[in-house]
Chains A and B, each alone.
Chain A
Amino acid sequence: MGKYIVRRLLQMIPVVILSTFLIYAMVFAMPGDPTAGKCGERPCPAAYIEKFNAKYHLDEPLPVQYGYYAKNVIQGDLGENQYGRPVAEELSERFTVTAKLAVMALIFEGVIGILAGVLAGLRKGGFIDNLVLISTLFVISVPIFVTGFAAQYFLGLKWEIFPALASGKDPSLFALILPAMVLGSTSLAYIARLMRSNISDNIKSDYVRTAKAKGLKKGRIVGVHTLRNSLIPVVTFMGYDFGALLGGAIVTEGIFGINGVGGYIFTGIRNRDGIAVVGAVTALVIVYLLMNLLVDLLYGALDPRISND
C-alpha cells in the first residue's frame, strides 16, 4: 500500500511539468497584448510597455520565458502576476475561500444527494422516488446562472434569509451556504440519480437476499451491505467533482462576488497573465491528481475485493 502511494506520487511529477508547460505555452500563444487596457482607453506609453515586457521577460522567446519561470518554481517561487503580487500568496488566499466553498458544496451534495437517492431507490415508483426524479430533472435542466441569480434574488435580496453576496477576503461560512448550495445543486441531482439506480439494482442482488435470509435487520442490510457497494461509483463521481468545483466555479463565484480561484483563472486568461494562470492551474492539476489517488484508495476501503497492490 505504501509502495503504491509512493509510486503514484512519483508519477505525478512528469504530469505536472508537462501540463504546466502546455498551459504556459497556450496562454502566451494567445493573440493579444498583456498591457492592453492597463492604461485606460489609450495605449500605454512606450516606456511603460518596455519596462513591463522586460520585467516579465515577454520580449524573449517562449522556451526562455518558461525557463525563467521553471527556475523560480523549483526554488519555491511561483512568481509575480501582472499586478506585481506574489502568485503563491494570492493563490493561498483564494484557495482557502474556494476550498471552503467546494467542501461545503461537496457535503451538501453528498449528504442530501445520497439520502435522496437511497430513499428513492428503496421505494421505486413511490412518492419520494417520483419527487426525486422530477426535482433532479428540473435542477439538471436549469443552467447554473439561472439557479444562482434566482437563489440570490429570492433567498438573498427579497426574503433576506441568507446574505446575497460572499465578497471580501474571508467571507463567513454562513455567507457561503447559499453559493455552496447553488454550486452543488447540479452534482446533487446526479448523485441522487446515480445512488437511486445503484441501490435499486443492488437491493435485488444475491448477497442482499442472503442477508435477509440470515435474518438481519433491514437497517443493517441497507445501511451496511447495500449502501457500501452502491457508494463506489458515487465516490468516484464526488472525487472528480471536487476538482471541478475548485476550478470551475467561475459562474457561481461571479454571481456571489466571491474572490475565488475560478474568477482568478478567468481574469488571468483574459489579461494574458500567464504566470497567474499557470500557478493556479498547476495547483488544480495537483488537486486533481491527489483526489484521483484518494478515490482509488477509497475503493479498497469500500470493497475489499478491489486491491491496489
Chain B
Amino acid sequence: MAIASISAVALFATACGGSSDSDSTSGGTAGGEIISGGCNPENPLVAGNTAETCGGDVLDVLTAKLIHYNPETAEPENDIAESIETKDNQTFTVKIKKGYKFHDGTEVLAKNFVDAWNYTAFGPNGQQGGYFFEPVEGFKEVSDPKSKVKELTGLKVVDDLTFTIKTTTPVSNLPLRLGYTAFAPQPDSFFDDPEAFGKKPVAAGPYKFDSWEENSAIAVSKFDDYSGDFGGNADKITFQIFQDADAEYTALLAGEIDVVRQIPPSALIDNKFQTDLGDGRYLEKENSTFQFVGMNYNVDPKLKNVKVRQAISMAIDRPTIVKQIFNDAYTPATGWVSPVVDGYKAGACGEYCEFNPEKAKQLLGEGGGYDGKLTLSYNGDGGHKEWTQAVCNSVKKSIGIDCVATPSVDFKTILTKLGKDEVKGLFRMGWVMDYPSIENYLSPIYGATASSNYYGYDNAEFQKTMSEAGAAETPEEANKLYQQAEGLIAKEFTTIPLWYGKTIIGWSDKVTEVKATPFGSPDLAAMKVK
C-alpha cells in the first residue's frame, strides 16, 4: 500500500531546488513596481475559462492553486494543499491549509474548489478549461453542451478543509495536474455574476486585481493578507498591453517596460537581442512546445511500412532547418516528450531523429520506397510555411521523395479534414503541455479514443502500459512505465519528432531574479526590483 503523496515530491524538490522560495518571502529588497509586456486577454479573467497566455499570464500572479510548479525544475510543490493523499490512485483526499484568504477577505474552503470545478466542467457554461476535468468521475454527463447535470459525482466536500476527488480510472499523476490555472478555487461572489467577476477577478494568489484599462494595461498589487509560501516581491505589477511583439520589444529597449515574454523574430536574427540587451539581461530556456509531423497510414497506405516513416525522419536535417529558419529559437528533438517535464528521458528517438541521408536511402529501399507525391499539410494561419517547405526540401534532397508543403486555411480546417480521414501524407502538429508530466505528451495524443489522436493510433500494448502507469504506486514507477509507452511510439513511428520550443525572455536593468516558469513565461512574482 503506497501513498502517492505529493508532499514527498515537494520535499524532495525543495531540498534540491535551491532556496529560491525562501528568498521570495524573506526578501529585504522587495518592493517597487514591475511593468511587464502583456497582450489582450481573449476572455474575461476567469480561471476556468482562460487557456491562452494573454489572460493566463495575469491569472498566474492572481491565483493560487493547490499546487505550485517550481520555476526551475517544474516540480510540483504544495501551495494551498496541505496534503493530497491516495491509496489507489483513484480516490484522492485533499486537505487544504487553514487561513488561506481570497482577496475579498473570505477564507478559502474546500467547497470553493468543488464549486469552481463543477462550474468549469458544466457543458452549458462553455468554459475553455472544461476538458481538464475529464478524468473526474461524472465528467461525461456534466460536460455535454446540453447537460442538465451540474455536479461531478467524483467531487465530495468532506469538511471545511477537506474534499475528495474520485477519477474514473487510476490517475497517478492527478496531483501534478492540479497546479494549472483551471484548478484555481473561486470565491462565493464568483457565482453571483461570473460575467462581471471576469472584469474584476478575485482570487487567492500573491497579487490582487487593481484595474483593467482595456487595450492599455492591467494592474495588480501585492495582497497583504496572502499567507502562502509563494509571495511576490514587487509591490505592483502592471501588464502593459501591446498588439505587436516588435513594439513590445522596442518598449523594453526604451526602458518603458521591464520584461518581455518573448523576443520577437526580428531581434533573433543574428542574435541581435544579445547585443541590444547585453549580458545578464536575457535568458534562453527550453519550453514545453513540441513540434512534430504526423500521418495516418490507414488513410495513406503508402506510409504503412515503418521503415518508410523512419527513412523520412532521417532525411530531415533538423539542426540546419532550426538554424536557418528559426535562428536557433528551437532545439532539434530527440524524442516525443519535452525535456522540461517530469519523466523526460533523452534520446528516445535514437538514431532515427539524426540526419543521415545514406541510412535513410537504405531504409527507404528496404521499406519498398514511396511512389508519387508526398504532401506535408500545414495551417496557413500560423507561420508554418517556411519550415514545412524546408522539411520537404530536405526530404526531397536526401531520399528523392517528391515532397510538397500544402497549406490549409487554418488549424480548424485541417482538424476537420483529419476527422473525416481526408488528409493523405504528412501533416504538422504542435503540442504545449497542460501540466508538467510525461503523461501529458502521450495519453491525449496516442490514446485510442483520445481527443487529439489524429493518427488512428490504436495499440493495445500502449493502452495497457498507460493504464498500468496510471495505477503505479510511486511517481518513479509511473514515469518508468510512461517511458516504456514512449518506446512503443518510437517503435511504431506514427509521428516524427521535429523540435522543442525555446523561450527567450529579456528584461530591463531595473530588475533582477528573472526566471522562466516551466510554461515559458517570466516568473513575475519572483522578480525583484533593484
Contact = CB atoms under 8 A, between A and B. Distances in A.
Contact of A39 (B44, B128, B243, B431): B128
A41 to B, nearest CB: 5
Nearest to B248: A257
A33 B123 CA distance: 21
Contacts of A35: 412
Contact of B52 (A40, A94, A169): A40
A31 B410 contact: yes
Contact of B246 (A37, A156, A254): A254
B124 to A, nearest CB: 7
Contact of B410 (A32, A49, A94, A255): A32
Nearest to B434: A42
A35 B126 CA distance: 12
Given A165-B254, A167-B251, A44 B430 contact: no
A44 B128 contact: yes
Contacts of A167: 216, 240-242, 247, 251, 256
B126 A41 contact: no
A216 interface: no
A81 B467 CA distance: 44
Contacts of B126: 45, 47-52
A36 B410 contact: yes
B131 interface: yes
A51 B247 contact: no
Contacts of A41: 289, 430-432
Given A45-B131, A50-B145, A84-B43, A40 B243 contact: no
A36 B248 contact: no
B411 A43 contact: yes
B128 A45 contact: yes
Interface in B406-461: 409-413, 415, 430-432, 452
B145 A46 contact: yes
Nearest to B289: A41
A83 interface: yes
A43 B246 CA distance: 27
B213 A169 contact: yes
B217 A168 contact: yes
Contacts of B128: 38-39, 44-45, 48
Contact of A33 (B124, B145, B410): B410
A256 B256 CA distance: 13
B51 interface: yes
B320 interface: no
Interface in A84-121: 84-85, 90, 93-94
B253 interface: yes
Given A51-B124, A83-B43, A267-B243, A40 B432 contact: yes
Given A45-B128, A45-B131, A48-B128, A32 B412 contact: yes
Contact of B127 (A47, A163, A168): A47
Across the A-B interface, the 10 shortest Cβ-Cβ residue pairs? A51-B126, A257-B247, A169-B216, A33-B412, A164-B254, A47-B123, A39-B51, A31-B409, A47-B145, A50-B145
20 contacts: A32-B409, A42-B452, A43-B411, A43-B412, A49-B126, A50-B145, A83-B40, A83-B43, A84-B43, A93-B215, A156-B254, A164-B253, A167-B240, A169-B213, A169-B217, A257-B244, A257-B250, A259-B215, A259-B241, A263-B243
Given A43-B412, A254-B243, A254-B246, 5 more contacts: A45-B130, A47-B124, A48-B49, A50-B126, A257-B243
Interface of B: 40-44, 49, 51-53, 123-128, 130-131, 143-145, 195, 213-217, 240-244, 246-248, 250-251, 253-254, 256, 289, 381, 409-413, 415, 430-432, 452
